[in-house]
Amino acid sequence: MYLADYHMHSKYSFDGSEELDTICQTAIRRGLSEIAITDHMDIYTGLPYDEQMNFEVPGGEQYHMDVSGLYGGLVQMKEKYAGQLKVRIGAELGQPQVNPEAAALFIRDYGDVLDFVIGSIHNMEKDLDVYYYDFTKIDVAKMYDHYVDWLLKLSEMGDFDVMGHLTYPLRYMFERNQLRLDLRPYEEKFRQLFKNLTEKGRGIELNVSGYYKAMQDAMPPMSILKLYRECGGEIITIGSDAHKAEYIGFYQKEAHEMLETVGFRYLTVFEHRKPEFIKL
């Protein structure tokens, strides 16, 4: 079984803490063949490009993303662990459609070193992360419908390789309020989403972080994963979304089983943003 964890965060993310070396050593100990470190590059609505990497996180703390330090360090990790672990240079590009110019400049500046880009939606109106929503005060079905609309817009506009955690809000709905959402009403929107992605040669990730959190499910769950495959989806990565070393490589076996169950024959990995297909 080829083990490749394609979504994790280091100390260079505003919500991460691990050294790059610790991540690589942990991946090797756990038998991984390949990893992509995909620290957050969230895009904000009103900020010019040169301010996108300097912003205030909730709580008032100023955050600076040292992209040059991150990517310089990852080049060193590639060399240091060559022959033991394939280290891919990634980014999780958050809601690039809110400021396409800034997103395009980021890709321009770092495209030569990037192997892999996840396109995700974390923040919606007023650049507020869904994490901070009070789900007891909103219609969660309407909110998620709106979230899927944002995914659709991302699929039309963003420059990325796979779309991340399609059911991101569901993780927090359950953690906070034990709410589960019936996804059947969104099937037609998901079909359009998957049509957009496949036509552009893009894919999705199977994000397993929900399995080590309260919701005890993947993002997306099996029903949406199956729909993606039925819509012709072939490009798919597996990601732990680990923000701590203890979660690196988690649930790889279960993820492989999910993919095989719904008809996938290959896992996708990337180099220089070109997909490569590894037999499951």
**105: phi then psi, degrees, rounded to nearest 5:** -70, -35
Tell me the sheet residues that pair with 237.
205
93 and 37 in contact (C-beta within 8 Å)?
Answer: no
**Residue 60: predicted pLDDT:** 65
Please report the domains of the chain, with CATH numbers, ordered by start residue.
Answer: 4-279 (3.20.20.140)
Residues in the chain: 280
Alpha helix locations (H) across the chain? 20-29, 67-80, 100-110, 140-157, 168-177, 187-199, 222-230, 252-261
In the chain (280 residues long), the average pLDDT of successive 10-residue segments reads 97 94 98 98 88 72 82 97 98 96 95 97 95 94 98 95 98 92 97 98 97 93 98 98 97 97 98 98
- Residue pair 253/1 in contact by the 8 Å Cβ criterion: yes
Identify the pLDDT of residue 173: 94
User: Is the distance from CB of 165 to CB of 122 less than 8 angstroms?
Assistant: no
Residue (of 123, 152, 153) closest to 41 by Cα position: 123
This model's pTM is above 0.85: yes
Supply the pLDDT for residue 48: 85
Residues 212 and 5: beta-carbon distance below 8 Å: no
How much is the pLDDT for 61?
65
The pLDDT assigned to 70 comes to 96
Q: Which amino acid is at 215?
A: M
| The pLDDT value given to residue 199 | 97
Q: For residue 58, what pLDDT is reported?
A: 64
Cα distance between residue 145 and residue 166, in whole Å: 12
